[in-house]
């Protein structure tokens, strides 16, 4: 197919044809909205590095979740900031912990909204790492016991899905076994199967108050240079019982999203992380980009790479754009001379 016999612009010339042959589509059903819950009343504290995103007390979480639900967003992902932290993250699996109480409030007011919970220890430990510390590092197997207790406590509070993000070896099998033995065989697991040790998490650590007090997380999160390791990690989680596999971060790892889509027949999720969100907000504030266009183009890139679900702090904005009939073609329209 060569010019002039083939002219690609014949199809691009009319919007009706562009719409008809568009290969990638985005729906509000693809979105999951992450939220940060804190103890107290009347708290709605904007995260300085994430404009438009807040640490919120439960009544505000419920109100914003109601807004998300009315926009058609099917699910939220909960992170909790406890009143007190300790070496073993006790609040993570407490019956009346921050996440457990937030789940109950959401399910009471919004029973049709899917509540997904992050299962990890970093927000709850005083050292900021994702498990029990032994000899200066996170001890894998003793941490599994706490992750199982945390996941079970979320299930008992009414969570619709749990999402382990800790990157401990064997945690999907351990959590699956615990849920099954306690009457929650129906509860799905969305595994952070491929989670890289990334610099893009900086704003999240402010939001979740989870910055490590020593060292870093490279002994359990993945090396950004590795591709084959991602396939191994995901394969293990699939074998252990994961129902959805996730890649995190998103934009720097679109090649990995595509690898997951090509290799596995499970649903694939991608986390459009805090640093990616904050860069768009900062560039938009400076007037360097068309914010709506770049947000939509970013969402399309995740879908084009093969993601079924997108966890994104832009979820409310995207849902509003879709609701008002945002022209998808605008995301690829060139304004350059």
**Interval 73-119: pLDDT, tens:** 999 999 999 888 887 888 899 999 999 999 999 999 999 999 999 99
Q: 112 and 86 in contact (C-beta within 8 Å)?
A: no
Residue 75 structural domain:
20-332
Residue 311 tokens read as: 């966890």
Residue 24: which pLDDT band, with cuts at 50, 70 and 90? very high
Residue 337: inside a domain? no
Beta-strand relationship, 137-138 and 133-134: antiparallel
Average pLDDT across the chain, whole number: 91
Residue 263: inside a domain? yes
Asked if the model's pLDDT at residue 215 lies above 60, the reply is: no
Residue 134 main-chain phi, psi, to 5 deg: -135, 130
b vs e for 111-136, b when ≥16 Cβ sit within 10 Å of the residue's Cβ? Answer: eebbbbbbbbbbbbbebbbbbbbeee
What residues are annotated to the active site? 195, 248
Residue 176 tokens read as: 């699956």
Number of domains in the chain: 1
Q: Which residue has the tokens 């068309």?
A: 290
3-class DSSP assignment, residue 189? strand
Q: Is 186 exposed, middle or buried (0-12, 13-18, 19+ CB in 10 A)?
A: exposed
Residues 6+ apart with CB under 8 A from 333: 293
C-alpha 112/C-alpha 106 separation (Å) is 10
Q: Which has more confidence, 271 or 336?
A: 271
Residues 6+ apart with CB under 8 A from 83: 39, 91, 98
pLDDT in tens, 45-65: 999 999 999 999 999 999 999
Distances (CA, A) of 290 to 122, 285, 295, 331: 35, 10, 9, 10
Residue 271: inside a domain? yes
pLDDT in tens, 235-291: 999 999 999 999 999 999 999 999 999 999 999 999 999 999 999 999 999 999 999
Residue 329: which pLDDT band, with cuts at 50, 70 and 90? very low
Residue 158 tokens read as: 């009414």
Residue 54: inside a domain? yes
3-class DSSP assignment, residue 91? helix
Mean pLDDT of 144-165: 96
Asked if the model's pLDDT at residue 336 lies above 70, the reply is: no
Residue 7: inside a domain? no
C-alpha 278/C-alpha 192 separation (Å) is 21
Whether omega before 133 lies within 30 degrees of 0, making that bond cis, reads no
Residue 73: inside a domain? yes
C-alpha 239/C-alpha 304 separation (Å) is 26
Distances (CA, A) of 157 to 106, 117, 154: 10, 11, 5
Q: What is the DSSP string of 169-188?
A: TTHHHHHHHHHHHTT-TT--
Distances (CA, A) of 27 to 14, 70, 330: 23, 15, 16
Residue 254: inside a domain? yes
Residue 292 main-chain phi, psi, to 5 deg: -60, -45
Query: How many H helices and E strands in the chain?
Result: 12, 12
Residue 124: which pLDDT band, with cuts at 50, 70 and 90? confident
Q: Which residue has the tokens 């995207």?
A: 318
Residue 31: inside a domain? yes
- pLDDT at position 337: 42
Residue 161 tokens read as: 């899905």
109: CATH: 3.20.20.70
């Amino acid at each position: 197919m060569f010019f002039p016999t083939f002219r690609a612009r014949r199809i691009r010339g009319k919007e009706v044809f562009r719409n008809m042959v568009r290969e990638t589509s985005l729906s509000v059903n693809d979105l999951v909205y992450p939220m940060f819950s804190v103890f107290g009343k009347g708290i709605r504290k904007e995260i300085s590095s994430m404009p438009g995103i807040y640490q919120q007390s439960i009544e505000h979480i419920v109100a914003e979740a109601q807004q998300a639900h009315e926009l058609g967003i099917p699910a939220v992902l909960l992170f909790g900031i406890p009143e007190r932290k300790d070496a073993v993250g006790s609040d993570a699996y407490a019956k009346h912990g921050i996440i457990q109480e937030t789940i109950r409030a959401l399910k009471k007011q919004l029973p049709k909204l899917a509540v997904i919970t992050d299962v990890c220890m970093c927000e709850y430990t005083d050292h900021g790492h994702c498990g029990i510390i032994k000899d200066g590092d996170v001890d894998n197997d003793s941490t599994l016991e706490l992750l199982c207790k945390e996941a079970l406590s979320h299930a008992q509070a009414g969570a619709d899905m749990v999402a382990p993000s800790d990157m401990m070896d064997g945690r999907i099998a351990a959590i699956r076994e615990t849920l099954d033995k306690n009457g929650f065989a129906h509860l799905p697991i969305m595994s952070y199967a491929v989670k890289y040790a990334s610099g893009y998490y900086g704003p999240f650590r402010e939001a979740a108050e989870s910055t490590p007090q020593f060292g870093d997380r490279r002994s359990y999160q993945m090396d950004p240079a590795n591709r084959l390791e991602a396939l191994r990690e995901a394969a293990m989680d699939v074998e252990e019982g994961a129902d959805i596999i996730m890649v995190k971060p998103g934009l720097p790892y679109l090649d990995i999203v595509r690898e997951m889509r090509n290799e596995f027949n499970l649903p694939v999720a991608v986390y459009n992380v805090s640093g990616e969100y904050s860069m768009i907000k900062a560039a938009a504030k400076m007037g360097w980009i068309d914010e709506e266009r770049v947000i939509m183009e970013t969402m399309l890139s995740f879908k084009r790479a093969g993601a079924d679900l997108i966890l994104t702090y832009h979820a409310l904005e995207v849902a509003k754009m879709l609701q008002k009939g945002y022209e998808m073609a605008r995301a690829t329209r060139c304004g350059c001379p």
